[in-house]
Structure 1
């Protein structure tokens, strides 16, 4: 279960993925734990982060990176510079809600 970082993906790849139509999210400089119930793909518009998987090696990414977080990943985020990203979650709204409920009950 590893985080994949692609530095400076091509414009054509971003267009093929439809990144500009994905939702966006912002986060101020902070440190917090996070669990990824489903795979997430993010394109970083601004900022710099270090994410450390439980029992793993820290991964650094920032502006211009395309990052894939695997489903089930538990990690600690350190937002070093305010983050602004496009993101896409695997599955549809119903499966996303179900995974989150399952995490709360079983987690």
Structure 2
């Protein structure tokens, strides 16, 4: 299984290049639940702390506020949200419907920021 990657110190230039400011947000309370990524998801963790344990029994990955995380398409595992989570995210590859709606939200956010 592909591994989650974590950049614990992403540069402002990288975040700007990725367009993170216009990505939608998602929040989750402290909880534990299974998940399968049907897209490749890139996320900037704004708040909280989590641990992901892969379904294949491999080593877990921990990430926290300030981290840029890439969850690969097809990754199956269990989220353990240790501190309430807030993230900005972008879907790529994989499930076309999920990617489409994510892109629509990003474009909407871009338009809103241009009209301010």
Structure 2 counterpart SS, 1:90: strand
In structure 2, the residue matched to 1:42 is 43
Could you tell me the TM-score, scaled by structure 1's length?
Answer: 0.85
Segments of 5+ residues of structure 1 without an aligned counterpart are: 99-107
Q: Distance in 2 between matches of 1:91 and 1:76?
A: 21
Q: Given that residues 44 and 66 in structure 1 are in contact (C-alpha distance below 8 angstroms), is that contact kept between their aligned partners in structure 2?
A: yes
What is the CA distance between 1:91 and its match in structure 2? Answer: 4.4
Q: Distance in 2 between matches of 1:97 and 1:20?
A: 20
Could you tell me the TM-score, scaled by structure 2's length?
Answer: 0.79
Structure 1 counterpart SS, 2:70: strand
Segments of 5+ residues of structure 2 without an aligned counterpart are: 100-116
Q: Give the alignment of 1:1-107 within 5 angstroms.
A: 1-55=2-56, 56-91=58-93, 95-97=96-98
Q: Distance in 1 between matches of 2:34 and 2:92?
A: 20
Q: Given that residues 44 and 83 in structure 1 are in contact (C-alpha distance below 8 angstroms), is that contact kept between their aligned partners in structure 2?
A: yes
- Number of residues of Structure 1 aligned to a counterpart in Structure 2: 97
